[in-house]
Structures are given as structure tokens and as C-alpha cells.
Amino acid sequence: MKERIYTIPINEAFDQDTECALCVCERKLENDALDYTIGPSMMEPDSRVETNRTGFCTEHFTKLYNLQQNRLALGLVIDTHMVEQLEHLEKLYKKQADAVKKESEKGLIGSALDSLKGKGSSSQRLIDDLLEKLTALEGTCAVCDRITNNMERLIENTIFLYDTENDFKRKFLASKGFCLKHFKQLLSAARKELSGGRQAEFLKSLLPKELSELKRIQDEVNHFTKMFDYRNQSGDWKNSRDAVPRSIEKLCGPCELKR
């Protein structure tokens, strides 16, 4: 088994009364990754090579900025990231610049003749190259990468704890189940980490738990909707007042809902 560095945070998250203990873990890993990015990361050449290449997704650029901490570090990280990306874009443009210029001077008839000869247009190629580059950049984020890697290990550790420690297994089974995102990650880790009877035992516990918790929250949302019926004006909301945001979190995993 790999390192078990997550034993303490996992246990602490499963001690909380929450719709998904792994969401609690992921939020913590996200905060750590954000702090790391504007903290130690900027002094590490390897991390800078990484952030220069990947940049951040919109959500994490926003969160990094909104932290309002270490603005110099964020500025330095953005500066070298932009230098690198500008170089890439300039290179793509320079490769086709002369051909595009010639094409622009040919006019309509010249271009029509070229396309009749089956000659692909340079401006088309330039657009394709730029779109490919920009799409790739859109899909990379150093914070997302860090969370994904650490979360994968954390989920493996969770399964290991379930499999080896009875106290933890009890906590796991007493929890409110998991959001669909982490339910999926648990299943995929179980496929990798457990085999034979241990895998079956895990599924035998996880599935009834998860399904009954999903049913519970669906009942709560249903109760919430019924409370808008005038006949229920003086009825009891029970646990349903925040059933909608809880159900969204159950379906999506960590999200930023106004509560």
C-alpha cells in the first residue's frame, strides 16, 4: 500500500455530519493547492515550469485572485505563464505569416483557383493551429492537477482504511454516503485496489448505503416541493428547508452555492 498520509484528514472528515465526507476532504485539498500556488510553489523551478505550461482554469484563477494574498507571487506566476504562452502563439503565427499575407493579396479569384487545385489555405491552417493551442490551454490547470492527484491518493487511502480498520469502517457505514462524483471515484478506486471477496464486500456495504442516502435526499427535496402547496401552509418543513442545495451538492460534489 502507498503512503498513508491522509489518515488523519480522512478520519476528521468522516467525523463530521456532512452529505459527503470526501467533499470535505476535496475542499481542504483545494485550499491547500491554492495556498501552495501562491506560496512555496513559486520558489520551486519545477512548479514554475508546470504553471508556465498549464496556467489555471477560470475557477482557480478567480479563487487565487480572490484570496487577496501574496499578490506579488500571483503576479510573478502570471507574468512567466504569459511570456511562455505568447511565445507559443507568436511561433504559430510566424510559421504562417508570410503565406497568410500572400493569400490576403490574392483576392477572391486567386483563392478560388487555389482551392480548385486542392491547395489548403494557410489562413485555415493558422486558425486550426491556434484553435488547437487555445483549446489545450483551456483544459489545463495546475491547481486542478494537484487536487486530482492528491484526491486519487486520498480515495485509495479511504478504501485502505475501510478494508483494514474496523473503527473507520463503522464511521464509513454511519456516514450519509457520498456525492455522485466521489461515489464514482470510490468505485473506480475499488476496481483498482480491491479484488475478489474484498471488492464484493465493499460493494455489498457501499451500494445499499449510497442508494438509501440518495433516496433520503430525494425524499427531502420532494417534501420541500410539497410545502409550496397551499394545503401544507401550516405543515412541518422537517429537514427540507436546505434540501435543494444539499441535493445539488449530492449530485455534483463540491460547489459554491450561496446558503
Nearer to Zn ion, 143 or 214 (CB): 143
Cα–Cα nearest to 60, from 148, 131, 173 = 148
Side chain identity at 137, as an amino acid letter? L
Q: Is 258 helix (H, G, I), strand (E, B) or coil?
A: coil
CB of 74 or CB of 179, closer to Zn ion = 179
Q: Which of residues 80-139 bind Zn ion (CB under 5 A)?
A: none
Residue closer to Zn ion by CB (options 71, 184) is: 184
Q: Which stretch binds Zn ion (CB under 5 A): 17-25, 42-50, 75-83, 130-138?
A: 17-25
Amino acid at site 104:
S
Q: What is the identity of the amino acid at 83?
A: V
Q: Which stretch binds Zn ion (CB under 5 A): 21-29, 31-39, 97-105, 217-225?
A: 21-29
Q: Which of 246, 188, 192 has the alpha carbon at shortest distance from 217?
A: 246
| 206 counts as binding Zn ion under rule CB under 5 A | no
Q: In whole angstroms, give the CA distance from residue 50 to residue 67.
A: 21
* Distance between CA atoms of residues 158 and 141, nearest Å: 25
Cα–Cα distance for residue pair 246/225, rounded to 1 Å: 14
DSSP string, 128-153: HHHHHHHHHHHT--HHHHHHHHHHHH
The interface with Zn ion within residues 159-188 (CB under 5 A) comprises: 179, 182
| 23 part of the interface to Zn ion, by CB under 5 A | yes
Q: Could you give the angle at the alpha carbon of 21 between the alpha carbons of 19 and 22, nearest 5°?
A: 115
Among 10, 25, 55, 60, binds Zn ion (CB under 5 A): 60
Single out the residue of 57, 73, 89, 137 in contact with Zn ion (rule: CB under 5 A): 57
Q: Which stretch binds Zn ion (CB under 5 A): 55-63, 64-72, 94-102, 208-216?
A: 55-63
Decide: is 13 part of the binding site for Zn ion (CB under 5 A).
no
Instruction: Determine, following the binding rule CB under 5 A, whether residue 22 of this chain makes contact with Zn ion.
Output: yes
Q: How far apart are CA 71 and CA 205, in angstroms?
A: 47
Q: Does 63 bind Zn ion (CB under 5 A)?
A: no
Binder of Zn ion out of 151, 156, 172, 253 (CB under 5 A): 253
Q: Which residue has cell 463540491? A: 254
**Which residue in 6, 10, 13, 20 binds Zn ion (CB under 5 A)?**
20
Cα separation of 125 and 164, whole Å? 57
Given 130, 144, 187, 221, the residue binding Zn ion (CB under 5 A): 144
Residue 214 CB, shortest distance to Zn ion, in Å, is 13
Q: Which residues make up the interface to Zn ion (CB under 5 A)?
A: 20, 22-23, 57, 60, 141, 143-144, 179, 182, 253
